């Protein structure tokens, strides 16, 4: 009897999509097809194969360990890949404009390195936006100095270097997180290098949210201890597939 081929999990399908369409955007291996490192695959399994569903994932590693690259890959998955939801809004957020541009720049380079992605994604450099007209999905990079009156309902938020926030709160973080209330399965990715001390705003992201929001699954992902998290969502039919 022939053994039936085991069905791929959601995370494995996402990993396969990234390895098919994404190329290394910079460094000594620039331009080469992505071969995802095992620790990054473990992060994907934790986020997308968590049976309880993931509302928030915290990825904390040392410098130069592909945190921003991983975030950019997740962004493209939700912009035009297997996690794309029609007419959704995606955001990345950081304290400064330069930091906010990092994920945008990496994603833009990966788009331009692949003809299939370049054909379906419009790059708006001045606005720091990526737009998929076919699905009506918009991604925008935001910084803390742009204000918090967005009037949007993001399906995916990536907070870059949240651990560097100083003070009791981050208005940008709070504005974006409360804006997800209208989404059925929003996903927040927090990436941060180990900070000299843990600011209150970063610690509070691990606790039960205020403003009447319910407790959500939340777990830190590190290179040595990746774990459980994921946010169920239905992929669009007209996305780039394997």
% residues pLDDT > 90 (the chain): 41
Taking residues 65-90, report their average pLDDT.
93
The top-scoring range by mean pLDDT among 69-83, 95-109, 172-186 is 69-83
* Secondary structure (H, E, C), the chain: CCCCCCCCCHHHHHHHHHHHHCECCCCCCCCCECCCCHHHHHHHHHHHCCCCCCCEEEEECCCCCCHHHHHHHHHHHHHHCCCCCCCCEEEEEECCHHHHHHHHHHHHHHHHCCHHHHHHCEEECCCCEEEECCCCEEEEEEEHHHCCCCCCCEEEEEEECHHHCCCCCCHHHHHHHHHHHHCCCCEEEEEECCCCCCCHHHHHCCCCCCCCCCCCCEEEECCCCCCCCCCCCCCCCCCCCC
**Residue 185 and residue 217 in contact, taking contact as beta carbons nearer than 8 Å:** no
Task: Please say if the pLDDT value at position 126 is more than 80.
Answer: yes
pLDDT of residue 218: 40
Do residues 78 and 88 lie in contact, with contact meaning Cβ atoms separated by under 8 Å?
A: yes
Tokens of 21: 């369409």
pLDDT for residue 192: 77
Give 148's pLDDT tier (boundaries 50, 70, 90): low
Percent of the chain exceeding pLDDT 70 equals 67
Smallest CA-to-CA distance from 53 within 169, 183, 164 is with 183
Residue 129 has pLDDT above 90, yes or no: yes
Distance CA 221, CA 241 (A): 27
Mean pLDDT lowest for which of 35-39, 69-73, 143-147?
Answer: 143-147
Lowest mean pLDDT among 6-20, 104-118, 199-213: 199-213
Mean pLDDT of the chain: 76
Average pLDDT over residues 45-65: 85
User: Given a cut of 70, is residue 200 above it in pLDDT?
Assistant: no
Q: For the chain, give the number of residues.
A: 242
Instruction: Say if residue 139's pLDDT is above 90.
Output: yes
As given in the structure block, the two tokens for residue 115 are 């003809």
Does the global pTM surpass 0.75? Answer: yes
């Amino acid at each position: 009897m022939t053994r039936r081929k085991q069905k791929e999990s959601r995370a494995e399908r996402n990993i396969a999509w990234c390895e098919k369409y994404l190329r290394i955007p910079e460094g000594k291996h620039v331009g080469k097809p992505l071969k995802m490192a095992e620790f990054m695959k473990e992060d994907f399994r934790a986020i997308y194969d968590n049976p309880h569903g993931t509302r928030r994932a915290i990825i904390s590693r040392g410098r130069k360990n592909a945190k921003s690259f991983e975030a950019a890959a997740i962004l493209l998955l939700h912009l035009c890949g297997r996690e794309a939801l029609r007419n959704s809004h995606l955001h990345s957020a950081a304290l400064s404009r330069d930091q906010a541009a990092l994920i945008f720049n990496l994603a833009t380079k990966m788009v331009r390195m692949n003809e299939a992605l370049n054909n379906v994604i419009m790059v708006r450099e001045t606005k720091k936006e990526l737009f998929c007209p076919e699905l009506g999905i918009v991604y925008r990079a935001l910084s803390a100095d742009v204000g918090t009156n967005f009037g949007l309902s993001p399906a995916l938020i990536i907070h870059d270097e949240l651990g560097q926030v100083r003070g009791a709160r981050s208005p940008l973080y709070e504005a974006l997180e409360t804006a997800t209330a209208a989404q059925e399965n929003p996903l927040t990715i927090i990436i941060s290098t180990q900070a000299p001390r843990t600011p209150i705003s970063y610690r509070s992201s691990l606790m039960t949210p205020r403003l009447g929001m319910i407790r959500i699954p939340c777990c830190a992902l590190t290179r040595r201890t990746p774990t459980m998290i994921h946010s169920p969502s239905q992929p669009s039919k007209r996305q780039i597939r394997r």
